[in-house]
Structure 1
Amino acid sequence: MSSKRWSSANVRLRERRSSYVQPKEVAKRVRKTSKFNVDHVPPETSKGGVFTERLESGQIAAYEVVVHEKPVETAEWLHSILSGHFVFERVDEVHVEDVVGAMRRVELAAGDALFRAGDKSSEFYVVEEGSVQAGVVFNEGETLGDASLLVDSAMRRVDGQALTDVVLWSLDRETFRLAVASLSESRASIVKLALERVPILRDLDSRLLDRLSRLVSLARYARNQRIIAKGAPGREMFVVASGRVACRDADGATGDLVLSEGDHFGERALLYDEPRAANVYALDPDTRCFVVAKAVFRAHLGQISEILEHDHKLRILDILFAGVPAEQQQLVLRVDRDALARATSLVAFGDGEVVVERGEPAAHVLVVKSGTLETEDGEVLGRGAHIGLEAALASSSTAVSYPATARASGDVECFRFAAADLQHPAKQDAAAPSTTLKARSVDEFELFRTLGVGSFGRVKLARHRATGTACALKILRKGLVVATRQKANVKSERELLVALKHPMVARCFGTFADDERLYLVLELLRGGELDGRMNETRLEPRDVAFYAANIVLALAYVHSKHVVYRDLKPDNLMVDATTGYLKLVDFGFAKTLAATEVTYTMCGTPEYIAPEVIAGSGHGKPVDYWSFGCVLFEMLSGRTPFARKPGAAPNHVLLFKAIKSSEVQFPDDIDPNAKDLVAALLAKDWHDRVFDIKAHPYFRAVDWTRLERLDPDAPPWKPHLSPDPFDDSNSNEDDEEDYDEDEVEVDPVRDNFDYWNDDD
């Protein structure tokens, strides 16, 4: 390989609605690429992430695009510039048009300042006329301030000055992010309403329609352009978004069938493998259709019959759990209902057949779908009645039996799932020890060296004086948290760390606060970061597979709790020195999301950020699969897939451009199955990524049950440490002089963060 991470000579650097049709005269105007990253400097650290202020749903719902009037020719030209810019790659045309509408005109006379070195960078510019000096000269058709659209804390590192009289068009980051987010939400709502009118889809549960509404693409057609050819294979369903289409030459038809906005056609493609029955043409200029591809539909939702069956099971589970006593609601709220519905089967019983028998272990929960059951006590159980739920929810650790025998009265069908499937989340939570350390002051700890530093504070090796427990004490400055508008993220991190309990997720023993700082008492993991392990040696293929499987299990648990992690990287995966297994740490960017929800905050570590995060058009759990693909590639090759060459200066903008536009170049010696998995995880469009990761051939030799029970013989390596828990020699020590958050000046904080203390 040309670049080997484990080579001592290698220095690894982290870069951690009007429509416009372009006429010929517009095409002749200057259209150039931007001079990347010469006018600003985004925050760069070897391991640091980037982030923007959290966008809340209320902000997005309330936002209205403010349109700044501009000549049609100018709007068309700006559209062509943005459409060719990497930030807007894979962004819908409709979104680009609205962003163009929001751009405002800026005029400067020769010699005027556009910005000063040290200014916070929040404006992106397109030069229409004249020239601007900002490190280099920007002329007509060029853009500057690219990173301003992506990260909050970028700063100008040079002065920007007009060399001539200048006309620019400006777009600020907040407008860009809110516009794209608002338009994405609006589009999803419009698509969902249209899908509800499709007969084969209208009976689907609202949650499934929400998911489907985010799987569609938007296609544009010119007047008289053919959309469907009669006799061609049916691969998509269409919903007219704007304009009109005509269905022609259909068998038995006497004329054109004209369809307009909200109408659908081609839906039989989702049900059957048959040729198209008619030609379909666009009648109007710039006709637009939402497209549901059969392959995408089936990959994410399955066959229609399977979807309807799954949907029915979900409704049954909702009704079943709605009747659970209040004291047990927390248990059923933790259940992954999608997974439980998939594990639920339909079983049939003949007249008089025993369904359950008194005294036998209550291994299953049954819900009557049709027919009736009679118990030996004379109780009649009709449709919707259930057996075994109380036993499955019992808190007792001893086996529970069915209290009475029940037989089928006539033919009966029941939904059935294993009681263990319902208990599984609770058992996972119980698998990790629930140690707590009640502390109210940092004085209750003896502090040692720094284990790591971050954007808002540091992690210290500590000893709890009262118990002698060794721990990692994460210390955050309130002022920095507030100044960087990350209070919501920090609160979310605390809630998740306290709630998540899994053997492959680091434990949180407690939290407390004082006037200036927030504290999290975390499990001390003495095996060090996976990053350190990768730096010191080349991992053998079987070692890579082991660690990759660990990551899959950790992500599966986190996702089952409806959490998207958003910062998966080797630095956030630590080796448990006791077991040799990996543990996921640092939930600073994690967020709880409903199954069909997306979020719009730009956050993560640059080398591992997914394209949809950069685009700002909404993201969910698939971003973690992308990051996993980056980590897997890094373990296999010694470098991240889109990193610049060793020795090149860090550059977020060039890195983000590569992530959105470049294909992965694989070393020759990577196993074909590993290569296939990485390629499937790094699909640019999130709905093309592999989701059933465990079933991939790369993991064919992995015994998942063995890993889930932390088999001590499975790990390829365990660190040799002294019995002294404060040895911690395997951790990646950070030089305390590298970064001192106390030197960062912030305003005094009046917020008490009252929710932070454990007993509040």
Structure 2
Amino acid sequence: MQTFTCLNDAPCELCGVLISFVAMEKQLEDLKQQLEKQCLINKELQRQNKELEERLKEKENLVQQLHNQYHDLEFPSTDNENEPEFRKSRAAVIASEPIPETSEIIRNRVKKTASETNLIVKAIQKNDFLSRLDDEQIAMMVDLLMTSKYKPGEEVIKEGSEGNSMYIVAAGELVVTQAGRNLRNLTSGDVFGELAILYNCKRTATVKAKTAVHLWCMERQTYRTIITNKSKKKREQLMGFLKTSRTLKDLNDVQLSKIIDSMEEVKYQDKDVIVQEGAEGNTFYIILKGEVLVTKNVNGHQKQIRRMGKGDHFGEQALIREVLRTATCAADGPVTCFSIDKEVFEETIPVEHLELFDDSRMMQEAQAPEKLNPSSTLRFKDLVPVLYQEGRFQGDPVTLGVGGFGRVELMTTLNHGTYYAMKRVGKKHIVAKRQEEHMLFEKKILKAIQCDFIVRLYGAFKDTRYIYMVMEFCGGGEIWTKLKEVGRFDESIAVFCTACVVEAYAYLHKKSIMYRDLKPENLMLDVKGYVKLVDFGFAKELVRGEKTYSFVGTPEYMAPEIIKNQGHDFAVDFWSLGILIFELLVGSPPFSSSEPQKIYAKILDGVLKYPPYLSEAAKSIISKLCRPRSGQRLGNTKNGIKDVRHHRWFSSMNWHKLRMSQLDAPTMRLIRKGPCYINFDRFPQDQTKAEEEFSGWDRDF
């Protein structure tokens, strides 16, 4: 920089100006450098921000994918924000399919090599649902799987079609698409379509051969026959074993059946001690597989007394009195036993007289003529639809509900005296789904019922297109709708609703009728807030001590024995009662998923996880109703439904006043005031008309 020197000692005015200018020039240079540096920093920050945004977007996409895939995460135990989500959609139902329960498998067996068998077994074991099959069932599946081959581009499964078979990929590659979008590829050892072996369901995706493909496949009827026949034979076998017991010889088949329902399967390895001489005895065993050595201590040495095999039993005296084991029983090689301990046995059979019911009295009750509803003068031509008075559906007929088997419409009479709920179902649809017997039985049951906790049937009609059932109108709406509105019920409301169901169950079970489709969608509130059971499409008459083997119900509410095809009875109603209590208190059932096979897997695992706000009494009754072994369930032991009524969760319930309709229903605060249809969801009018049907199945309807 150039410097200036004054001629005299004092700086001149010009010098001052020049100095200031130079200083400003230096500041501008500094500022320019700072700005350039800041621009570089800003550019770097922008680049980093863009990179972070892209990474964040990727993570959000990944989180969304994970959320979609695992939307049924378990509840955390403390964080209130992560409490279980309330169920927002209606539960799907599965109608019983009349596959012959006694049918034999006539297809030729396909021999498999050791490596093929190994591939099939591994595929079954890694599948959520199939892995629950036992070794014998898996062996039967391996034996009966058929082979099929597809060329590249051929469809194995078409989205929207009805499924009948499951597949295991032996070799080759397939591609799975949904609505034209690729989901994933399938290769050797993958299982697909397995839901179709349980029931008739629509395929949710298309599966096409990408290369030449070799598949193992099985049809539903074959699978059902495998499981059902094995369950029946095992049950008959156990019944025969029990009848040889000296202690149990006076029990009837109904009582022996209850014991079988309460027994557990246990496995032992070689040399395992099952019973120790001198120990307190409290368990009875039946040998299903393997051999057991019985030894006794004689002068300090174990002396072999005898060898027991399949069908032999031991420890029976431990069921009826305090005893010490008089010998040691140990497994000689792998052993499988069925066992029941004293505490469970005493809950099942009254030990003091070893008699559960008087058979003759029970049969007389079952055969007593039913009291029919008073003869009705209601005529079909007198019924007219009620119309919406406001809103976007104004002037349309009021629809109270829509389901897989028809619509329920609100009707009144020409003189406008009474409201009715009319269920209308297309006859062609009934025939297509092979539900003729169920519809006829539903009408028969409802016509015979006289119970304040079950909806009344006032008339049944038909024409060439539909069958119609005109029923009592419950103006308070569905429990499902109310639960959806509030999220979850207070305990007092849940107790009251469940108590009404218990009374309906008591009435039905006394008449040898299983309900089999309990859920909030099938519970209605009358104008006084009392709960009534509706929809008897899945109900069935059953003689005590017998089993039925149909696969029927709503997935979230199905008992394990239905899923396993082990044969079921009235105990399934108590299981579903436990699931109902859970859903009323929590807002969603304990076992849920968007994929039915995952629901079934969870039910078979049987792990109940309770949110922290549930009371101890609520957890107690749910866990006792949802015991995996049906013979141990609350309501299905020796005292029957009395044990449910006497549980402490119902300690505030006056059962007599409930039956007399003398209680103030806490549900009244859920019921809205307004037009007669105000407590129902609104549905658009059905403009389509069912096809005519003339097969004549409804001749007696």
If the length of structure 1 is used for normalisation, what is the TM-score? 0.72
Match of 1:493 among 411, 433, 442: 442
Q: Say if 1:471 and 1:522, in contact at 8 Å, map to a contact too.
A: yes
Measure, in 2, the Cα distance between the counterparts of 1:195 and 1:569: 37
Query: 1:446-485, aligned counterparts within 5 Å?
Result: 446-448=384-386, 449-465=398-414, 468-485=417-434
- Is residue 2:199 matched to residue 1:151? yes
Deviation for aligned residue 1:162: 2.8
Deviation for aligned residue 1:92: 4.0
Deviation for aligned residue 1:221: 4.0
Aligned to 2:65: none
Match of 2:367 among 333, 336, 347: 333
Query: 1:373-392, aligned counterparts within 5 Å?
Result: none
SS of structure 2 residue aligned to 1:717: helix
Deviation for aligned residue 1:187: 0.9
Measure, in 1, the Cα distance between the counterparts of 2:417 and 2:600: 46
Measure, in 1, the Cα distance between the counterparts of 2:559 and 2:160: 29
Amino acid at match of 1:95: Q
Measure, in 1, the Cα distance between the counterparts of 2:688 and 2:258: 42
Residue 106 and residue 754 in structure 1: after superposition, are their counterparts in 2 closer, same or farther (change >3 A)?
Answer: same
- Is residue 2:13 matched to residue 1:13? no
Aligned to 2:32: none
SS of structure 1 residue aligned to 2:101: helix
SS of structure 1 residue aligned to 2:477: coil
Aligned to 1:365: none
- Is residue 2:677 matched to residue 1:729? yes
Measure, in 2, the Cα distance between the counterparts of 1:227 and 1:131: 49
Q: Aligned residues, how many?
A: 593
Residue 708 and residue 519 in structure 1: after superposition, are their counterparts in 2 closer, same or farther (change >3 A)?
Answer: same
- Is residue 2:565 matched to residue 1:616? yes
Aligned to 1:753: 698
Aligned to 2:12: none
SS of structure 1 residue aligned to 2:262: coil
SS of structure 2 residue aligned to 1:281: strand
Residue 175 and residue 532 in structure 1: after superposition, are their counterparts in 2 closer, same or farther (change >3 A)?
Answer: same
Query: 1:393-408, aligned counterparts within 5 Å?
Result: none
- Is residue 2:652 matched to residue 1:701? yes
Q: Say if 2:464 and 2:692, in contact at 8 Å, map to a contact too.
A: no
Give the structure with the higher percent helix.
Answer: 2
Query: 1:102-251, aligned counterparts within 5 Å?
Result: 102-135=144-177, 136-158=184-206, 160-249=207-296
Aligned to 2:460: 511
Deviation for aligned residue 1:552: 1.6
Q: Identity across aligned pairs (percent)? A: 26
Measure, in 1, the Cα distance between the counterparts of 2:695 and 2:145: 37
- Is residue 2:697 matched to residue 1:653? no
SS of structure 1 residue aligned to 2:584: helix
- Is residue 2:278 matched to residue 1:278? no
Residue 211 and residue 316 in structure 1: after superposition, are their counterparts in 2 closer, same or farther (change >3 A)?
Answer: same
SS of structure 1 residue aligned to 2:458: strand
Measure, in 2, the Cα distance between the counterparts of 1:473 and 1:111: 49
CA distances 1:589-638 after superposition (whole Å, capped 9, x unpaired): 11111111222222222332223222222222222222222221122122
Aligned to 1:443: 381
Measure, in 2, the Cα distance between the counterparts of 1:94 and 1:302: 35
Segment of structure 1 superposing worse, 59-68 or 562-571: 59-68
CA distances 1:240-276 after superposition (whole Å, capped 9, x unpaired): 3344322122669953401223222222222233333
Deviation for aligned residue 1:673: 0.9
Residue 741 and residue 223 in structure 1: after superposition, are their counterparts in 2 closer, same or farther (change >3 A)?
Answer: farther
For structure 1, the residue ranges without an aligned partner over 5 or more in a row are 15-45, 322-328, 336-425, 645-649
Deviation for aligned residue 1:176: 1.3
Match of 2:141 among 70, 81, 99: 99
Residue 68 and residue 278 in structure 1: after superposition, are their counterparts in 2 closer, same or farther (change >3 A)?
Answer: farther
Amino acid at match of 1:167: H
Aligned to 1:502: 451
CA distances 1:301-333 after superposition (whole Å, capped 9, x unpaired): 242x3324x45xx15747xx8xxxxxxx6x663
Segment of structure 1 superposing worse, 59-68 or 267-276: 59-68
Q: Say if 1:83 and 1:96, in contact at 8 Å, map to a contact too.
A: no
Measure, in 1, the Cα distance between the counterparts of 2:192 and 2:504: 41
SS of structure 1 residue aligned to 2:700: helix
Measure, in 1, the Cα distance between the counterparts of 2:491 and 2:130: 38
SS of structure 2 residue aligned to 1:114: strand
Amino acid at match of 1:130: G
Deviation for aligned residue 1:576: 1.0
CA distances 1:709-754 after superposition (whole Å, capped 9, x unpaired): 11143545264646xxxx32333234136x77747xx784422411
- Is residue 2:342 matched to residue 1:294? yes
Q: Say if 2:124 and 2:191, in contact at 8 Å, map to a contact too.
A: no
Amino acid at match of 1:196: K
SS of structure 2 residue aligned to 1:684: coil
Segment of structure 1 superposing worse, 485-494 or 259-268: 259-268
Deviation for aligned residue 1:668: 1.4
Measure, in 2, the Cα distance between the counterparts of 1:164 and 1:332: 60
SS of structure 2 residue aligned to 1:213: helix
- Is residue 2:124 matched to residue 1:82? yes
Measure, in 1, the Cα distance between the counterparts of 2:187 and 2:346: 48
Match of 1:526 among 467, 472, 475: 475
Measure, in 1, the Cα distance between the counterparts of 2:581 and 2:692: 42
Residue 501 and residue 272 in structure 1: after superposition, are their counterparts in 2 closer, same or farther (change >3 A)?
Answer: same
Q: Say if 1:581 and 1:715, in contact at 8 Å, map to a contact too.
A: no
Aligned to 2:18: none
Match of 2:518 among 568, 572, 576: 568
- Is residue 2:313 matched to residue 1:264? yes
Q: Say if 1:127 and 1:143, in contact at 8 Å, map to a contact too.
A: yes
Amino acid at match of 2:166: F
Larger-gyration structure (1/2)? 2
Measure, in 2, the Cα distance between the counterparts of 1:610 and 1:185: 18
Measure, in 2, the Cα distance between the counterparts of 1:110 and 1:503: 62
Aligned to 1:326: none
